[in-house]
Amino acid sequence: MRIAALVILMMLSGVTQADRSDCGPMKATQQSNSASGQRRQIKISIATGGEPYPPAKDTYRVGERVPVVITMTNTGSEPVYICETGTLYEDRPQLLKDGKPVPYMSFQQSTMQAAERDKTCDEDNLPQQILLRPNQPTVVDWFILSKAAASFNDVGWYEPLQPGKYTFSDQRRLSCCDGPLINTNTIEFVVAP
């Protein structure tokens, strides 16, 4: 089960453009900001596209893959480290279609519940540190919001989207495997027939 969860995590997370190192004990200088202080000085933004995907857009076709790119900006004056373990542990996407909540794919929901129950993040030592330099927006992660209808390789949070108006936001952790969730910006997009 752990190997399957690790493979899924790797498929969901990808490789990012941020400065990374394997997580180990952080040096005292890296821990100088409390968790609440870090939350206040880190801005988390989401977009439906951007590096490593094509540019963000606000209209998709039925069955088209919808990627999400997560960017963080350290608004403080000193560099800080955050932890990145992967979308399965750190993200809680919230998608509305025409104002009504869209449920996660059943596979994604059961995988998320198993990871929480089995403490996969803690047990498999998945975290990595990411350095956020002051006032430099940094792509820290990405995931597939909705998989492409014809793709067998995509692992998304939601089934291929049907026509309608969508509102999307995310809640993301800065800590490795647990901790408070921080709200991101909200974006809107349309899925056309």
- What pLDDT digit, counting tens, does each position of 32-69 carry? 344 555 556 899 999 999 888 889 999 999 989 999 99
State whether CATH 1.25.40.20 applies to domain 2-192. no
| Phi-psi category of residue 101: left, alpha or beta, with phi > 0 → left and psi -120 to 50 → alpha | beta
What gap in Å lies between CA 87 and CA 9, rounded to an integer?
A: 7
What gap in Å lies between CA 113 and CA 111, rounded to an integer?
A: 5
What gap in Å lies between CA 131 and CA 181, rounded to an integer?
A: 20
Q: In the chain, what are the domain boundaries?
A: 2-192
Q: Estimate the crossing angle of helix 2-13 against helix 106-118, to 10 degrees.
A: 120
Asked whether the predicted pLDDT for residue 17 surpasses 80, the reply is no
What gap in Å lies between CA 160 and CA 16, rounded to an integer?
A: 24
pTM of the model: 0.76
- What pLDDT digit, counting tens, does each position of 130-182 carry? 999 999 999 999 999 998 876 667 778 998 899 999 999 999 988 878 888 89
**Amino acid occupying residue 112:** M
What gap in Å lies between CA 128 and CA 3, rounded to an integer?
A: 18
- What pLDDT digit, counting tens, does each position of 74-99 carry? 999 999 998 888 888 889 999 999 99
Strands 156-158 and 164-169: unpaired
